[in-house]
Structure formats: C-alpha cells, structure tokens
Amino acid sequence: MASLMFDHVKKRYGNSELTVKDFHLEVKDKEFLVLVGPSGCGKSTTLRMIAGLEDITEGSLYIDETLVNDVNPKDRDIAMVFQNYALYPHMTVYKNLAFGLKLAKEPKEKIDVMVKETAKILEIEHLLGRKPKALSGGQRQRVALGRAIVRNPKVFLMDEPLSNLDSKLRVQMRTEITKLHKRLGATIVYVTHDQTEAMTMGDRIVIMNEGVVQQVASPDVIYNNPANKYVAGFIGSPSMNFINGRVIEKQGNIYFTTDNIKLPISKDNTNDLKNYINQEITFGIRPEDIYTDIKQVDTNESLVKYTAKIESIENTGSEMFLYFSVDGEPLTVRNKSNPNIKVEQKITLYVDMNKAHFFEKESGTSIKYDRLLTDNE
C-alpha cells in the first residue's frame, strides 16, 4: 500500500478557469480519504489526475514518493472503480477479473488463484461464468470492486461507485466497502456527492467547492467544527440554520441580534466574538441543537428560550422536522416524533447557545474554528 502527496496541484481545461485550484494534501498509507462536494467542484477531476486519466496542469503528484505527473495510468499501480462500473461487456466475470493480471503477464495458475480468492471475498464465485449483462446492479458493483482488488494495487480510486444503486443496496455496499478497507489495509481515495457516504466511510473528508478545498478533517471535526459557512451548510441533513445579524454589547454581556431576536452569547463563545462587536455576522445552529422540550437536555445553562409558530412539519416516523421562519429566514428544528405537535401551533424553542456557530459575514470563515481546533489538539 502507499501514500499520496499532492503538491499544489492545479488543473485547467483549455483556456477556461482552473477546475482544481491549488490542491495541496497528503494522503497517508492505509487511509480512507473521501472527496465530497457538489457536481462540478473538481473532485472527480482530482481523482482522475491520480489515475493519470487527466494531465496535471501545474504542481506535482507523488505516489509513494515517486513523481507520477508523466507516468501512464497502467504504470501507476492503481485501480479504479467507475460510477457506471465499466465492466468489459464481451468478457465473463472471470475474464473481467483476470484481464489486468493477464496483461501483467502473471502465470495462469496464479491468476486463477487470485481471481477465485477475490470472488470468494466478494461472494461472487457463482457468477464467474456470467457476462455483465446477466448481472444485477449490485452484482456488477461487486465485480467492479473485484476487478480493482484482484490486482492488489497501491491505491484504490473510487468514483461515485454507489450512486447507481438503490438506497437499500447502497447502505449495504457502504458497510462492505468499509469492511473491505479494513481487511485489505488499502489506501482508498473515494469520490462522492453524498454526504452520508462521506461521513460514514471516510477516515478524513475533503470538502471541495468550485475547485477549492474548503476543509480537510475527520468526519467528527467536519461536523462539529466546520471551517466555514459552506462546510457547515453542506454537511448535515437537514442543514445548519443560518441567521444574519449583528453582535452587540450591553452591560458587559454580548448578544447576537436581529430585528426581532436577541440571543445572549454563552460564556464559552464570548471571547471569540469580542472582536466582532457592532459587526454583521452569520449565526449558525444545527437543527438538533434546538429543543422543544427542556427535559431533553442535560444542562440548561446555555439554553435560550424563543417562541415561534410552526409553519410546516415533515414526519419521518422516528423523528420530525419542524419548520419556522425567523426574520424571514427559514429555521429547521429536529425533534422526536410527537403527535401533539401540530402545524400553526406556537411552541417554545430552547436554543443551545454553546453549540452555536458564528461565521464572518463576507468571507464565511468560522469565528470559533481556530479555538476549537486548538482545544481538540
């Protein structure tokens, strides 16, 4: 297995703007790295640059300390799983798996052993004689994975491999890929637009937008300490609530205010906001950090009460999402399912101000980010 090093890598198609702007990152040996972002953010391009399917415009890429900018895909010792599987339609599953080994001139007996072993790991032994068109989506996905692992490459690249599967199968394959990663001890770079996949599978997540890396961190850090408003809004479903307002100071206390609300800043956050007094900022709070019942919370030290009218409700069975409007901006609250809560009802909300996030209005940078980062260290 291997490490990867991106040294200020940039990609431009023709004379257009940069598709990937200054990608600088080290992927550790045996790491499961997930690149996530909306379509067109440059994540697939980055993956294809690792594969050698796209040229690198500027910067250097190293696989195991070897510069690979000008190395052919076949000489990089990588394997890739494609979104549409890209199985060779005229070959049986066995031949699909054996193809790469055959080209590498491995002896026939060894190929046979490796193919059968891989088929066993993925439980596709009974499919070896079939052609891809006689397989279901899930089976094709397994074969595509098999084609990657059979060669025992240095790095696995996966380009949205689960996006063509139905949701149930996707959950199942998610677990299997994670297990496979542990079992093989492989270095995996995985591209997805699905934040759940990113959060559940990755050791580290790279969030990209418009060709720029927004944040690289473990799922936990990404969720609890987003580097900016983009990351905060992208990860989490339903996404974080944002309210624009102003920081003011009154009698030694600091408040976040809009036309209709005035929220006292909790002690923990006071220091962060001292430099922003009388400035416009964006306040952010996750839907699960607002409660409808004070009993749900262990500590009420940092809770702030706010009464609002429910505009609509989405009930998923185990929980419900309550939608409000605060100063014309939408506010979502995640709550346990409760048949007594009805639309149009006025309800008291308890906002946990300790969990609040604050972002600079113009740049979107998180105001708490640096402090939390040091706290974690």
**Contact positions vs other proteins (CB under 8 A):** 51-53, 72-74, 78-80, 82-84, 86, 88-90, 99-100, 103-104, 147, 151
Question: Looking at the chain, how many residues does it have?
Answer: 377
Question: CB-wise, 78 or 173, nearer to other proteins?
Answer: 78
Q: How are beta strands 303-309 and 346-352 bridged, if at all?
A: antiparallel
CB nearer to other proteins: pick between 24 and 74: 74
Distance (Å, rounded) from C-alpha 53 to C-alpha 335? 46
Closer by beta carbon to other proteins, 74 or else 126 = 74
Minimum Å distance from CB 73 to other proteins?
5
Q: How far is the CB of 148 from other proteins (least distance, A)?
A: 9
Amino acid at 179: K
Report the first-to-last Cα separation within the chain, whole angstroms: 28
Q: Give the CA count within 13 Å in the CB-facing half-sphere of 1.
A: 18
Give whichever of 105 and 346 is closer to other proteins, judged by the CB atom. 105
Question: Between residues 187 and 209, which has the closer beta carbon with respect to other proteins?
Answer: 187
Smallest gap from Cβ 269 to other proteins, in A, equals 49
CB of 292 to other proteins, least distance (A): 49
Q: How far is the CB of 90 from other proteins (least distance, A)?
A: 4
User: Of 52 and 364, which has the nearer Cβ to other proteins?
Assistant: 52
**CB contact set of 343 (below 8 Å; sequence gap of 6+):** 310, 311, 312, 313
**Cβ neighbours of residue 152 under 8 Å, at least 6 residues apart?**
none
Distance of closest approach, residue 41 Cβ to other proteins, in angstroms: 20
User: Is there a contact between 188 and 17 (Cβ–Cβ < 8 Å)?
Assistant: no
DSSP 50-95: HHTSS--SEEEEEETTEE-TT--GGGS-EEEE-TT----TTS-HHH
Q: The tokens of 32 are what?
A: 């499961």
Closest distance between other proteins and the C-beta of residue 232, in Å? Answer: 34
Taking the C-alpha atoms of residue 86 and residue 3, their distance in angstroms, rounded to an integer, is 26
Residue number with CB closer to other proteins (100 or 138): 100
